[in-house]
Structure 1
Amino acid sequence: MDFSLLYFANREVTDTAQEYELLVKSAEFADSHDFTAVWLPERHFHSFGGAYPNPALAAAVLAARTQRIRLRAGSVVVPLHDPLSVVEDWSFVDNISEGRVDIALASGWHPNDFVLAPDRYAVRREFTFGAVNEITDLWAGKKIWRRNGKGEEVETTTFPRPVQAELGLWLTCSRSPETFDEAGARGLNVLTALMFQGTDKLAENIERYRTVREQHGHDPAAGKVTLMLHTFVSENDNAVRAAVRGPFTEYLLSSSDLWKAQYLDFQGSDPKTTAKWAFERYFHRAALFGSVDRCTSFARELHAAGVDEIASLIDFGVEHSAVLTMLPHLDEVRRKLNGSGLQRGRVTSAS
C-alpha cells in the first residue's frame, strides 16, 4: 500500500518566512523514507486552502528539493484553466523533476472560485470531462485547434515537451457514484476522501469503479484509488486526541461558511455544534488519528476495501514541530502495513 502526504492548510499569513516550512521539510522526509508522492491542492480566494493557489508552483519548489517522490496536483480545478496552460505548467515541472509529475483533475464546486471563469460554472463537469482528451493529446505532442487574436483557427501545441511519454491522471471523486463511473469509464485513477462518505459507501464506490473500468475495456485492477485522510499518529490514542482536538476543530470551523453555502445539509446548523460532532466522526472513523497500532489496523481495513494509497493531510493546524515529530510514527505505520502481507477482500475477473 502506498503512503503519500497531502496539503490543504488553512493559513492566515503571520510569518511569511515560515509559511511553507512544513511543506518543504515534510516533503524532504517523504522523499527519503519511501513515501510515494506529495499531493498539492488548488484553492482560491479563501484562507481555507488558500495557501495553494497554483499546485504547479508548489511542485516546482519541491522538484528542486527532492529526488524521487512523485509530485502530484491534488487537484487542478480544470474549468478555471485552459488545458493548454495546464499542460504548459506541468510539462515544465516534469522537466525540472526529471519526470515525476501526475495530476488529479477536479471540476470545482464553490461558485466564488469561478470569478476566474464565470461562464463555466454551470457546465463545469462537462468542461472537465471534455478537457481530459485535450490534456492527454497535448501531453503526447499532438496539436489542438484554437482561435487566435485575429479570429483565425490555428493548430496549437505546447512547450516544453514533457519528460514522461504519458501523464498519470486521477479524477477527484467526493461521494457521487456517477463520478466514480466517469473515472472508471475513462480509465482514470481516483482521488477521494471520507468527508461525505463512510467506509462502507467508499467500498461500494470502489467496487462500482472497478466494474465500470472492466465494462469499458480497462483492466479493473489497474486503476489506483487514493484516499485522502487527515493524519496524526503518535504513541497512544489519548495523546493524539489531546494534540489534534483543538487545531482540528478550528480547522473545521474555518471552512464552515464554504460548506454551508454549498450543501443544504449544513444550512441552519450551528457551526460549533457541527464541528464538535464532525471531530468525533473523524477521530473514530474518518481520519488516521491515533496510535501506530490503531492507524495500522484502520489502514489495513481500508486496503481490504480497495484503497491503494493513503494521502495523509498533515497541515490542518497542529504545530509544525509536532507534525514533523509525528512523521516517523506515520512511517512506522507504512512499514508495518507493507510488511504484513496485505490481502484484498474483493475478487475480480482479473485476479
Structure 2
Amino acid sequence: MDFSLLYFANRKVDDPPAEYDLLFDAARFADEHDFTAVWLPERHFHPFGGAYPNPALAAAALATRTSRLRLRAGSVVLPLHDPLTVVEDWAFVDNLSRGRVDLALATGWNANDFTLVPERYEDRRAYTRDHVPVLRDLWAGKTVTRRNGKGEDVEVGTYPRPVQPELDMWLTCASHPAGFAEAGALGLNVLTALLFQRVEDLAPRVTAYRDAREKAGLDPDTGQVTVMVHTFVGESDAAVRETVRAPFLEYLESSVDLWKDHWQDLGRLSGEKLLSYAFERYFRTSALLGSVEKCTRFVRDLREAGVTEVASLIDFGAPGPVTLDALPYLDQVRRAVQEG
C-alpha cells in the first residue's frame, strides 16, 4: 500500500499564501518519510479548490524542492485543454524533477469550468477517451497534424522532450462502475474517492476494473487503484474530533453546492443538520480522521477492497502548523500498514 498527500484547499482563507507554505512544508515531510507522491488538482472559478488553477504550476514549484516524490496531477481536466499544451507543461516539470511526473485525467463535471471551452461540455467523456492515445504519442515524441495560422496542415511535436519515455496515467472516477471499467479498458490506473461511495462499494468496482484490463489484453494485477481520503491523524479519536470538527464543517459548507445533490441518503436534510450528517459520515466511515489505531484499521479495510494507494487530503482547513504536527501520526499509520 502506497501513501501520498493530496491538496484541495478551500480558497477562503485569512492568509492566502500560507496554504502554499503548507503545500511546501508537507511535501518536504513526505519527501523525507517514504511517501510515494503528492497529488495536485485543477479547479476553476470556485473557492473550493481554487488555490490550484493549474497543477503543472504547483508541480513545477515542488520539483526543485523535493528529490524523490512523484509529482502527480490529480487531475488534469483534459477537455479544457489541448493535449499539445498538456504535454508541453508536464514535460517541462518532468525535466525539472528529473523524471517524477504522472498524470490523472478527469473528464470534468462542473459546467461553469467549461466557460473556457463550452463546445466540449456535452462530449467531454468522449474527448477524454479519444485523446488518451494522443497524449501517449506526443509524450513518446510522435507528431500530430494541425492547421496553422495560414490555414496549412502541418506536423507538430512538443518540446522540451520529457525525461521519462512513457507517461503513467490515471483516470479519475467518481463512483460509477462504468468509469472503473473504462479506465481498465484504456490501460489507465484509477483515481477515486469516498465522496459518493463507501468502502464496501469499492471491491466490486475494483473487480470491474481488473476484469476490463484483462479483456483488453493487459495484466489485470498491474493497474493501480488510488483512493483520496480526507486525513488528520492524532493521539486519540476524541482529540482529533475536537481539532477537526469546526474546520471540516466549514470546508463542507464551502462546497455544499457541489456535493449535496450526489448523496442518495440525505433525504430532506439541510443547513446545520446536513453538514453535521456529512461530518459524521466522513468521521465514522469515509476518512482517515482519528487515532493511529483507527486509521490503520481503515487503511487495511481499503487494502482488502483492492486499493493500492491512499492519497491523503490534508488541507481541508485545520491550521497549517496543526496539520504539519499531525503528519508524524500519519507516518505511523503508513509504517504500521506497510510493515504489518
Report the RMSD for the aligned CA atoms in angstroms. 1.4
Looking at structure 2, the residues matched to 273 and 224 of structure 1 have their Cα atoms a distance apart, in angstroms, of 37
Q: Which residue is equivalent to 1:152?
A: 152
Q: Is contact 2:253-2:275 (8 Å) kept?
A: yes
Q: Which residue is equivalent to 2:118?
A: 118
Query: Which amino acid counterpart does residue 324 of structure 2 have in structure 1?
Result: L
Q: CA deviation at 1:154?
A: 1.2
Within 5 Å, give how 1:1-351 maps onto structure 2.
1-260=1-260, 263=262, 269-340=269-340
Q: Is contact 1:292-1:333 (8 Å) kept?
A: yes
Looking at structure 2, the residues matched to 173 and 216 of structure 1 have their Cα atoms a distance apart, in angstroms, of 19
Q: CA deviation at 1:15?
A: 2.4
Looking at structure 2, the residues matched to 263 and 114 of structure 1 have their Cα atoms a distance apart, in angstroms, of 20
Looking at structure 2, the residues matched to 311 and 27 of structure 1 have their Cα atoms a distance apart, in angstroms, of 13
Name the SS of the counterpart of 2:169 in structure 1: strand
Looking at structure 1, the residues matched to 198 and 4 of structure 2 have their Cα atoms a distance apart, in angstroms, of 21
Q: CA deviation at 1:13?
A: 4.8
Q: CA deviation at 1:150?
A: 1.7
Structure 1 residues 295 and 93: alpha-carbon distance in aligned structure 2, compared to 1, 3 A threshold: same
Q: CA deviation at 1:305?
A: 0.9
Gaps of 5+ in 2: none
Name the SS of the counterpart of 1:20 in structure 2: helix
Q: Is contact 1:56-1:73 (8 Å) kept?
A: yes
CA-to-aligned-CA distance 1:133-192 (integer Å, 9 cap, x gap): 110000000001111112222111100000000001000001011111110001100000
Name the SS of the counterpart of 2:312 in structure 1: strand
Name the SS of the counterpart of 2:18 in structure 1: coil
Query: Which amino acid counterpart does residue 59 of structure 1 have in structure 2?
Result: A
Q: CA deviation at 1:272?
A: 2.7
Looking at structure 2, the residues matched to 338 and 304 of structure 1 have their Cα atoms a distance apart, in angstroms, of 13
Looking at structure 2, the residues matched to 164 and 78 of structure 1 have their Cα atoms a distance apart, in angstroms, of 20
Q: Is contact 2:196-2:263 (8 Å) kept?
A: no
Q: Which residue is equivalent to 1:347?
A: none
Q: CA deviation at 1:267?
A: 9.7
Looking at structure 2, the residues matched to 206 and 16 of structure 1 have their Cα atoms a distance apart, in angstroms, of 38
Query: Which amino acid counterpart does residue 236 of structure 2 have in structure 1?
Result: N
Looking at structure 2, the residues matched to 242 and 264 of structure 1 have their Cα atoms a distance apart, in angstroms, of 26
Q: Is contact 1:70-1:100 (8 Å) kept?
A: yes
Q: CA deviation at 1:263?
A: 4.4
Looking at structure 1, the residues matched to 232 and 23 of structure 2 have their Cα atoms a distance apart, in angstroms, of 15
Q: Is contact 1:256-1:271 (8 Å) kept?
A: no
Structure 1 residues 330 and 178: alpha-carbon distance in aligned structure 2, compared to 1, 3 A threshold: same
Looking at structure 2, the residues matched to 18 and 226 of structure 1 have their Cα atoms a distance apart, in angstroms, of 28
Looking at structure 2, the residues matched to 299 and 14 of structure 1 have their Cα atoms a distance apart, in angstroms, of 33
Name the SS of the counterpart of 1:278 in structure 2: helix
CA-to-aligned-CA distance 1:42-99 (integer Å, 9 cap, x gap): 0000100000000000000000100000000000000100000000000000000000
The alignment covers a number of residue pairs equal to 339
TM-score with structure 2 length normalisation?
0.97
Structure 1 residues 268 and 123: alpha-carbon distance in aligned structure 2, compared to 1, 3 A threshold: farther
Looking at structure 2, the residues matched to 42 and 224 of structure 1 have their Cα atoms a distance apart, in angstroms, of 21
Query: Which amino acid counterpart does residue 282 of structure 1 have in structure 2?
Result: Y
CA-to-aligned-CA distance 1:272-316 (integer Å, 9 cap, x gap): 322111111100110001110111111011111100000000000
Structure 1 residues 229 and 124: alpha-carbon distance in aligned structure 2, compared to 1, 3 A threshold: same
Q: Is contact 2:87-2:139 (8 Å) kept?
A: yes
Q: What fraction of aligned residue pairs are identical, expressed as a percent?
A: 62
Q: CA deviation at 1:113?
A: 0.5
Looking at structure 2, the residues matched to 292 and 264 of structure 1 have their Cα atoms a distance apart, in angstroms, of 29
Looking at structure 2, the residues matched to 162 and 321 of structure 1 have their Cα atoms a distance apart, in angstroms, of 36
Q: CA deviation at 1:236?
A: 0.5
Name the SS of the counterpart of 1:18 in structure 2: helix
Looking at structure 1, the residues matched to 148 and 34 of structure 2 have their Cα atoms a distance apart, in angstroms, of 46
Q: Is contact 1:184-1:213 (8 Å) kept?
A: yes
Looking at structure 2, the residues matched to 29 and 192 of structure 1 have their Cα atoms a distance apart, in angstroms, of 24
Q: CA deviation at 1:259?
A: 3.1
CA-to-aligned-CA distance 1:196-240 (integer Å, 9 cap, x gap): 111111111001100111111111110000000000000110001
Looking at structure 2, the residues matched to 263 and 177 of structure 1 have their Cα atoms a distance apart, in angstroms, of 15
